[in-house]
Chains A and B, each alone.
Chain A
Amino acid sequence: MSAAPKRSSLPGFGLSMGLTLTWLSLLILIPLAGLFVKTADLSLSQFLDTVTSNRTLHALRISFGLAFAAALVNLVAGLIIVWALVRYRFPGRRLFDAIVDIPFALPTAVAGIALTTLFAQNGWLGAPLASLGIKVAFTPLGIFLAMVFIGIPFVVRTVQPVLIDLDVEIEEAAACLGASRWQTITRVIIPSLTPAILTGFALAFARAVGEYGSVIFIAGNLPNVSEIAPLLIVIRLSEFRYADATAIAVVMLVFSFLIIFVLNRLQRWAQTRALAVS
């Protein structure tokens, strides 16, 4: 039985799939595979020793924990910013809209140095905070701050177009049905935005986990205090302990993948609930 050549109204599947796979392999899959191959230089016990050492565990905790907290803060702050930018007309709105993108464009080192200068104990903001007994620069709080800084555009830029598309009539319908403003926001608007919010959260989180440039300036980088996992990887590299470095990288990779996978499923679930393609 010879299969007739399949005709499609969207030709080019073979070509585009081939290019996609080649590109993804070259840029992502092969380097990542290298990571696993290099890690395999270590025996299992060496690997476990490396990744369960206090210093590594602490660095991972700092990176993932603070990234998660920063993404949560960005979620709330980002929603408020989006709301103001989309729903109100005020002088300078376009300027503020442009400012949101600065963390995207600014070299991260510049951001790190600027934040450090600002929050150092003699800085404009650091000094008054220090007099209240709050130390920001060279502590985990500083890391958290840098992560908030670089994550904010992700939430804003993913939620903004969805909120723009959200029909004002939906809010009017809720108001006519007797819903208070608060009920309209919590029961109608936020649920409609949930898929976009989750995406923005995942992106902000992923970016913060991998952030290096801006964090290392403000972190102070004290082992077991304010050392992030990416920095520990760089330190291991500079000590020529390549396999140790890749071992930490593998753990980060697997963790990040799992978390983003879960967020992705959540987002898919929220979306199918909205679009209900059952």
Chain B
Amino acid sequence: MTIEVRNIVKQYGAFKALDNVDLRVADGELLALLGPSGSGKTSLLRIIAGLDWPDSGEVSFDGENALARGAGERHVGFVFQHYALFRHMSVFENVAFGLRVQPRAVRKSEAQIRARVKELLDLVQLDWLANRYPSQLSGGQRQRIALARALAIEPRILLLDEPFGALDAKVRKELRQWLRTLHEEIHVTSIFVTHDQEEALEVANRVVVMDKGKIEQIGTPGDVYDNPATAFVHSFIGESIVLPVDVSDGQVKLGHRPLNIDAGSASGPSKLFVRRHDMQIGPLGEGALEGTVRRVRTFGPIQRADIALSGDDTLVEIDAPRDRPLTTGDAISLQPRRYRIFAGQE
């Protein structure tokens, strides 16, 4: 099932949650909507699900207008951050719910329902919990049951709203892997919302980065990390060193110090972005920037150092391999291996 979203606008009072959003999702894709809170990612997901309606714009599934249908008629599986399981029903009944509420004409027989629920509980590897109640399960188990429940109606699209947001780090990591595998198995077009970049980059085929109701970039995980399209994407995804620079006549200046690097298309007040591990350390005089090592810590294969840049003492944090040990007080030069300059300084 392909999903097409065109010119969606959604406003809550003076707050523009979605500002002219366009998005195409291909059949069988596993797409992440990534952004900080308030970026509009959940609003977009809820509009696709039919839990909210846009002020204007179109949503279509396989070319067919979805806005004409309510949530119940869109055949969309929705997984909530806080599970939203029916607490008065056993796990079995939770999963069976979507099958039991079908109109009598198309409803499966009791035996078929039982078989289907069994199959789904096997799929999420929790068949041994069928008779428990949601309050007896751990967070990770609840979310897997919520997923089984959403899959029971054989949804054409699976939507997950911060599915792992309420879980602890370890379970989160397991479930991420598991969702990835599950998607490969069932191959239903899926969109999940997250504010966790690692989750988005690790799980999704494509990542949509959103900010302030707009899509900043759409690309593969590698793309958005290596070639961020905007200053926002560069600072939101991965750790970056950000320095305010001034570009005039193709020359980049940090304060009064000219940096011997290519300005690209930027001009005027701009920002220089460098990944922490993309700073090459060398002896004084061999790099665009100079500074003094203030503090060093080591994390496994890397050492992380706070460097006070000469001039205004701006502190930057860099990651370097441990083959060239740094000590506090060293005077060094820094040369960005890869960097981006984006115009504007706000």
Residue among B85, B87, B98 facing the most chain A CB atoms (10 A cut-off): B87
Q: Which of B85-99 contact A (CB under 8 A)?
A: 85-89, 97-98
Inter-chain CA distance A183–B71, complex, in Å, is 14
Q: What count of chain B residues pass the 8 Å CB interface test?
A: 32
Interfacial chain A residues near B76, Cβ < 8 Å: 176
Q: Evaluate contact between B101 and A175: CB separation under 8 angstroms.
A: no
Inter-chain CA distance A222–B49, complex, in Å, is 63
Contact of A178 among B82, B135, B153 (CB under 8 A): B153
Q: Evaluate contact between B72 and A177: CB separation under 8 angstroms.
A: yes
Interfacial chain B residues near A180, Cβ < 8 Å: 72, 101
Q: Evaluate contact between B136 and A172: CB separation under 8 angstroms.
A: no
Q: Evaluate contact between B88 and A178: CB separation under 8 angstroms.
A: no
Q: Evaluate contact between B72 and A176: CB separation under 8 angstroms.
A: yes
The chain A residue sitting closest to B70, CB to CB, is A175
Q: Evaluate contact between B51 and A178: CB separation under 8 angstroms.
A: no
Residue among A172, A176, A270, A274 facing the most chain B CB atoms (10 A cut-off): A176
Q: Evaluate contact between B78 and A273: CB separation under 8 angstroms.
A: no
B23 at the interface (CB under 8 A from A): no
B80 at the interface (CB under 8 A from A): yes
Known: A173-B78, A177-B101. A274 touches B87 (CB 8 A): yes
Q: Which of A162-179 contact B (CB under 8 A)?
A: 167, 169-170, 172-179
Q: Evaluate contact between A192 and B80: CB separation under 8 angstroms.
A: no
The chain B residue sitting closest to A166, CB to CB, is B87
Contact with B along A116-159 (1 / 0, CB 8 A): 00000000000000000000000000000000000000000000
Contact of A275 among B72, B85, B135 (CB under 8 A): B135
Known: A172-B51, A172-B78, A177-B72. A273 touches B133 (CB 8 A): yes
Interface residue range, chain A: 20 to 34
Q: Which of B128-160 contact A (CB under 8 A)?
A: 132-136, 146, 149-150, 152-153
Interfacial chain A residues near B149, Cβ < 8 Å: 173, 177
Interfacial chain A residues near B261, Cβ < 8 Å: none
How many contacts between A and B, using CB within 8 angstroms?
A: 83
B166 at the interface (CB under 8 A from A): no
Contact of A170 among B84, B132, B135 (CB under 8 A): B84
Residue among B133, B149, B152 facing the most chain A CB atoms (10 A cut-off): B133
Q: Evaluate contact between B88 and A194: CB separation under 8 angstroms.
A: yes
Interfacial chain A residues near B51, Cβ < 8 Å: 172, 175-176
Q: Evaluate contact between A169 and B84: CB separation under 8 angstroms.
A: yes
Interfacial chain B residues near A172, Cβ < 8 Å: 51, 71, 78, 80, 84
A188 at the interface (CB under 8 A from B): yes
The chain B residue sitting closest to A275, CB to CB, is B135
Contact of B86 among A170, A194, A270 (CB under 8 A): A170
Q: Evaluate contact between A174 and B82: CB separation under 8 angstroms.
A: no
Residues of A that sit less than 8 Å from B by CB: 167, 169-170, 172-180, 183, 187-188, 191-192, 194, 270, 273-278
Q: Can you list 22 A-B pairs, Cβ within 8 angstroms, ordered by A?
A: A167-B84, A169-B80, A172-B51, A172-B80, A173-B146, A174-B97, A174-B101, A176-B50, A176-B72, A178-B73, A178-B98, A179-B98, A179-B101, A180-B101, A187-B101, A191-B86, A191-B89, A192-B88, A194-B88, A274-B133, A276-B134, A277-B135
